[in-house]
A and B are shown apart, each in its own frame.
Chain A
Amino acid sequence: MGELVIGIDLGTTNSVVATVQGGVPTVIPNRSGYRITPSVVAMARNGKRLVGALARRQAVTNAERTVVAVKRLMGRRWTSKALQDTLARMPYTVVQGPHEDVRIVLGETQYSPPEISAMVLTELRLDAEAFFGEPVSKAVITCPAYFNDAQRNATKDAGRIAGLDVIRIINEPTSAALAYGFGRPQVEKQVAVFDLGGGTFDFTVLHMFKGVFEVEATGGDSLLGGEDFDSCIIDWLAEPFFTKHGIDLRKDKMSLQRLRDAAEKAKCELSNQKSVEINLPFISATQKTGPLHLQSSLTREQLESLTAELIARCLRVCEQVLGEAKVHAGALGEVLLVGGQTRMPKIQEAVKSLFGRDPSKAVNPDEAVALGAAIQGAMLLHEEQEMLLLDVTPHSLGIAIAGGFFQKIIPKNTTVPTSAHHVFTTVKDDQPSAKITVLQGESDLADDNELLGEFMLTGLRAAPRGTVDIDVIFDISADGIVSVSALDVQTGARQSITVTASSGLTEEEIQKAASANEDWMLGQKEDPEFQARKTKAEELFREFEVLWPKLTRAAQNGLGDDPLQRAQAALSVARLQVAQKESQGLAASIDRLERMLGALKGALDRGLGQEGR
């Protein structure tokens, strides 16, 4: 048995954590006993951080302080069109961050998407630690195959903030294939994975043989998932309501959250039945009509026609990837369905007709990705796992050239590790430096691709223009990290640099967030007795705070300053005890504060009574 390592499927709507125990990949149940944890984070009214099912349950009543689908914001720039489209449907507030990135407003604080994701990861880590009974730090986290470098780095940063040593980020469909291929080492097979999750769609073709998994081609759409199916239903419900009553339910955060829940529920039910009733009483109200209710019935056929375009988009991606893998749809040995949205009968039908075979039922669509990540962790760290994953770069890598064009240097679907080089020449006499812009994407135009990084080649030899040749070498390591080194061809002088797309956080910010998270975790681990006292004390602090303005007024109206000063002293003692974790002392302080509060409330009641007279 090697070092403990966990695999995490950090999903748009749900997350799962798994490990390989005694040679068997196993899902780790969370501390409430469930195998799936909703990827939802909320700040309760009392300032407490809620994650998972607890956060999800209170989403309707606390819509503005509940973060769902944060994965859609990971690694996105504020100015990107994809982001602006996404924001329109988010019930919480998102603002521009300091580095052209995004920040989520929760109460008084702004959080970056990796920090929110880190809260989910921390929860999963605590679940794993409870399961093992010892600390866990090594993890493999999955991301959609079509995530670009910025999104991958944001995911990695989230892991670091959660105190995890992320040994690898792997692609979700590949991960599912690992789960499928585990225990079938001798079978040689070509497998396709159709992965339609909450927020993203991926399609990957792999070849497996004797424990080696070779990714042949991969593609997808990072903004196409189950949530878009929900949105179709939301629009279908909200538009007639708007026509009839002139109220757009999607504009109100609370009713949007109720619509969202109802749409998701209807969608899931329609996978098993032909029609559903959607009932949303008191969804809105007007002065004239009083409360308004929304009542509708939706059939499976209607849902299928509402979402036909989304399914067609998935199939177009499949055809493109099959072409890149040079494989005929009918020639595949197996088709795996992954992600909750693949439960929709119409999708299963579409997949069946494209590939001419029934999709495999060998993997659990919700758990396969996490299990695969755990397997990859074991493959890397444990001696006994004789398996290997040959993954590819999902996007072409290249540079910006004169005229605003993009020159590909490493094409997509190249197996990593890989490297390639390109010769540049100076354009001015005695040019001291040259700027090289590294991009990722498929467009011929530089601007349409994702900026990975820019760097300066400095200290170039003084020479007439066109005579200094610089050979720039691009390396992508097995864990997807791009590094660039430059070599002066004539002199052999060398420079190197690692190019990392920014996740939106600086190193300092990551460190700070990580240590804040560590503090929070320590807080979670305190003994339950102190925890209960602390909660009680904090309640009292708030009650005093609320009461304070009235008390100061009462002090002037005959109550006197004395009781207030005594209360203030007791409060600061108790605050100090909370900070220093003095459990016993705090218990005494709580008693005292409760007595004082009772007495002051009594005095106020009498005082207010006099005032009213």
Chain B
Amino acid sequence: MFAEARDLGGAIDLPADIQRELRDLESRGDRISHYELLAVAADADGGDIRRAYLERSKRLHPDAWYRKEVGEFGPILSKWFQKLAVAYQALSDEESRAVYDRDHKSDLNPQDRVAVEKRELRVRDDERRQAERRARLLHTKGFARIGAARKLFEEALDHASKGERSQAIESLKAARELDPNRKEIAARLVDLERDQARARANSALASGKDREQNKLYPQAIAAYTAAFQLDPKSSAAAAGAARCSMENGDLQAASTWGQRAVELSPDDEDARLTLAEIFTAMNMKARAKAELNAILKKNPEHPEAKSLLKGL
């Protein structure tokens, strides 16, 4: 597509190296990993990833070339900046990064795969050492407990600022045990645990959708179930589990999930439609009709609901 710069007209004055880079990115398309796009090692920590994102933005953000005539490279810059932002989003949270690493390990280049494994080992190792240290600190006696709690609290803030949420939570838990009266410890812990549950639920949900798209139904059901356990209010997780259970031929489970999804979000037409389809498949016509009528009551023109109802 971009064999030579002159193919795009002579007016373009974007530097040759960035033209080359964009052409290279275009030719690799979706095969480029988040790590390669950000130009960081796959075992980089949160701070490195953020700095890499900002550095790379200086090259890929359209404003960096505002004064240049970029011609047809304009939309390409914009597209790759957006991909860069998506990569940064995915890797800047430890939960979504873990999911990305797990789901895309086989796509990574050998060097990055090794780095991811190395990092996983290091994280586990680090966690173990930190846990031991916390256990030791928890044995502190007397007034020194307050000081130990402060130390752990500061450590927690440091972990949190690097995006190491689970480490931060563990430190805070230990700090709270040492100094139960300090309110900011408890408050920060509540915040982080809520963030963690949300992030875990979101990444489980994303993983479920990804697998559902790839028709890996049993794995998708597992991910959706995990998402639902993490966030019992998630109708999207319940609806996903219902769809995949139906595809997987487990109608009993599908109807349980489907009813849960509808209860959680009675206005969700898609969830009701899925449930109606499940009931139809189970030959429970009256219940299927009830769901379809509920949809049509709110939206009399709903095409699929109308045609399904006709079929009954």
Contacts and interface: CB of A to CB of B under 8 A. Distances in A.
Interface of A: 2, 188, 190, 207, 209-212, 214, 323, 326-328, 330-331, 379-383, 386, 388-390, 402-403, 405, 415, 417-419, 425-428, 465-466, 477-478
Given A210-B54, A390-B57, A427-B303, A478 B62 contact: yes
A478 B61 contact: yes
A330 to B, nearest CB: 7
Contacts of A427: 301-303
Interface residues of B, number: 33
B157 interface: yes
A584 B299 CA distance: 77
A380 B68 CA distance: 10
Contacts of A209: 50-51, 54
A331 B155 CA distance: 12
Contacts of A389: 63
Nearest to A426: B303
Interface stretch (B30-38, B78-86, B101-109, B135-143): B78-86
Please report whether the interface of chain B is mostly helix, strand, loop or mixed according to DSSP. Answer: helix
B285 interface: no
B160 A212 contact: no
Contact of A212 (B54, B66, B67, B184): B54
Contacts, number: 83
B58 A211 contact: yes
A605 to B, nearest CB: 70
B55 A212 contact: yes
A380 B67 contact: yes
Contacts of B54: 207, 209-210, 212, 214, 390
Nearest to A323: B191
B161 interface: yes
B269 interface: yes
Nearest to A3: B67
B21 interface: no
B78 A2 contact: no
B81 A402 contact: no
B63 A415 contact: no
A207 B160 CA distance: 15
Contacts of B302: 402, 427
Nearest to B165: A326
B188 interface: yes
A380 B269 contact: no
B304 interface: yes
15 contacts: A190-B161, A209-B51, A210-B51, A212-B54, A212-B57, A327-B161, A328-B188, A331-B157, A383-B67, A388-B61, A388-B63, A405-B267, A417-B82, A427-B302, A428-B301
B161 A212 contact: no
Contact of A402 (B53, B55, B82, B299): B299
Given A210-B58, A388-B58, A402-B302, 4 more contacts: A212-B58, A327-B161, A388-B57, A428-B303
A402 B302 CA distance: 10
A470 to B, nearest CB: 14
B307 interface: yes
